[in-house]
Amino acid sequence: MSKRYFGTDGIRGKVGSGIITPDFILKLGWSVGTVLKRQDPDAEQTVLIGKDTRISGYLFESALEAGLSSAGVHVRLLGPMPTPAIAYLTRAFRTDIGIVISASHNPYYDNGIKFFSRAGLKIDDAMELAIEAMMAEPLIMVDSAYLGKAARIDDAPGRYIEFCKSTFPNHLTLTKLKIVLDCANGATYHVAPHVFEELGAELNVINNYPDGFNINDDCGSTRPERLCKLVVAEEADLGIALDGDGDRLIMVDHLGKIVDGDSLLYIIAKHAQEHGQLKGGVVGTEMTNLGVEQALQQASIPFMRAKVGDRHVMNTLKAKGWLIGGEASGHLICLDATTTGDGIIAALKILSVICEKKQSLAELQQTLLKLPQTLLNIKVTEPKEVLKNLPFQQAIKQTEQRLGANGRLLVRASGTEALIRIMIEGHDALLNQRLAEALAAVIK
């Protein structure tokens, strides 16, 4: 069955339009609670709710709480917390579901809802379909004697900080590293600085004063340009950029050069192999640079491509029984440490390699030769309709013929925004750019 509301990463959209409205979110809370109650009518169910720092989070937190309570489900409120923290705390508190109010790397005027199972994994298709089916039924609240109760958990940040630190090797310390940390004015603002400082790093933190509107605004993993300049200006060893909900990581080396998720994935996988900790191989996506695939093959590390999206990467990892996967965007999954993509924990993985090998971030990727890629995002009203457009399809075929065996073209509709994403990869960077701009012109 096709889904009406759920996309590749939960439910997401512009606040106040479409489905991202208080009445829909209240009904969604009731639907989730009712599905849980029907699965086990005699048990008490409890749901965790966390959010990022965008202003609409307060509104939707209240709406979700009301909906869940009306279904007879208890609610535990965490306040602003990173998405991967909700995954961990859902397991730690043994709750039935964890809910995150976040639109990840999107601007403040977007918001969305993500769900984690009691195992700390994104809920499966069957659960999403059950929730959508419940949305079509009339909202009938339980008797007032059976309404759910709500309470706030105050020590959630401390619990998650300690969990993150526990994934860093005990025999290592960050005391010799100077790091610039960009929190994207998002959910990691009160968590990530403590993790790195308590492990000994000399830290300069930027974009850690959220005001409800500045989340991801010219900062974080999607806009690391200022971070690049600061790392060089302060003669830091490296920079760390997280996104608004803390599940993505981009790093910057001491030369001020961006180190994306592809390069970080390669470093993590190689180090795991060298220590006999690599179980199976590595999962990337259709966007993963061909140079990464070739470098892994040269190291005798199996590699598979999944569709774009951490959900697809995770499903492939589970199917293969592997532990390491990720995307160029910085969504890195290390199943030996946690159950979902986690920017802080992925950063600690890289930092442990730097400390152990006593090499810089730039040196760790010296042997990785990546092919030039051009990435363009074109705003459209109906992405799926654009992909069906006959002249655009013909332009795609012509571009593929022009690239031949010397390059790759990927055109897709974003799963989280109203965008057409174009990726062209090949040895000739100028040709990549020209071909991508020509395709964008056809769309416009």
The domains of the chain are located at 11-154, 160-364, 373-443
Same fold, 11-154 and 373-443: no
Nearest 5°: the CA angle 321, 114, 339 is: 30
Residue 19 pLDDT > 70:
yes
pLDDT at 406 over 80: no
Give the catalytic positions in this structure. Answer: 104
* Structure-block tokens of residue 290: 């061909």
CATH of 373-443, one of 3.40.190.10, 3.30.310.50, 3.40.50.300, 3.40.640.10: 3.30.310.50
Domain 160-364 has CATH 3.20.130.10: no
**Which residues lie closer than 8 Å to 381 by C-beta, 6 or more apart?**
418
Could you give the CA distance from residue 153 to residue 26 in angstroms, rounded to a whole number? 21
Sign of CA dihedral 313, 299, 294, 365: positive
Tokens 């992405």 correspond to 383
Fold for the domain defined by 11-154: Alpha-D-Glucose-1,6-Bisphosphate; Chain A, domain 3 (3.40.120)
Q: What tokens appear for 47 in the block?
A: 């749901």
Is the predicted pLDDT of residue 416 greater than 80, yes or no?
Answer: no
| Rounded average pLDDT over 313-334 | 96
Return the CA Rg of the chain. Answer: 22
pLDDT tens digit string along 324-377?
Answer: 999 999 999 999 999 999 999 999 999 999 999 999 999 999 889 999 999 999
Whole-model pTM?
0.92
Question: Can you say whether the dihedral through the CA atoms of 87, 92, 98, 100 is positive or negative?
Answer: negative
Q: Encode pLDDT of 140-165 as tens digits.
A: 999 999 999 999 999 999 999 999 99
Mean of the per-residue pLDDT values of the chain: 95
